[in-house]
Copies of this chain bind each other. A is one copy, B any other.
């Protein structure tokens, strides 16, 4: 049955292109990678890529989808953390760590204007499923903390709180990626910024009891405030 084998072969070539593209992006940065270069890396010429992708942006989108999957996969184990408040903290940590370890991927995913494109059906399947959608899992943890009465009075919208917390870690991650080497900013260590951000923001949302529960779980050592 060569017809289906052909499809498999197509998928294999497509994966090879994506793998080559990804490697070039992390090695030389997004701006320095052209279609000819990607094609050359696997022994093809540039127009050959149009057999598998309708445009360069399409290729990028496909790559982005793959990155989202590995991103979500990294978050999934954290769902096992029982205390929702601690889980929120660990989500924030994992989020920033992913961004710092895969800066090019993170740029694609969260630092470029979202193209006005219709979401694919397979994306919508993952959407809002806490098992596969990191944002949904994060919001779910917040809703659980709310239900447990851990949040201060006045906070009744998990979505709003989720978006605010997301803003914080996204700001930390994206500033790190873009301005890490900016000589104008005497950056404190990423670890201390992350710890301080998460603890301060969560403290602002939490009741004192929940806050000290969190501090007990994640540590409250002043070592995080070292200036290295």
Q: Hey, which chain B residues are within 8 Å of A112, CB to CB?
A: 178
Residue of B nearest to A154 (CB): B222
In the complex, whether A170 has a CB less than 8 A from a CB of chain B is yes
Contact B159 A186 (CB under 8 A): yes
Residues of A whose CB lies within 8 Å of any CB of B are 110-114, 116, 119, 127, 135, 154-157, 159-161, 163-164, 166-172, 174-175, 177-179, 181-188, 192-193, 196-197, 199-205, 220, 222, 225, 227
Give A139 Cβ to nearest chain B Cβ, in Å. 10
Ordered by A's residue number, 22 sampled pairs between the chains whose C-beta atoms are within 8 Å are A110-B178, A111-B111, A111-B174, A112-B178, A113-B178, A135-B185, A155-B225, A159-B227, A160-B192, A160-B225, A163-B185, A166-B175, A167-B168, A167-B197, A168-B201, A169-B171, A197-B201, A199-B204, A200-B201, A201-B201, A202-B204, A203-B204
Contacting residues, chain B, for A163 (C-beta < 8 A): 185, 187-188, 193
Interface SS of chain A: helix
User: With A182-B114, A188-B159, A188-B160 as given contacts, are A175 and B168 in contact (CB-CB < 8 Å)?
Assistant: no
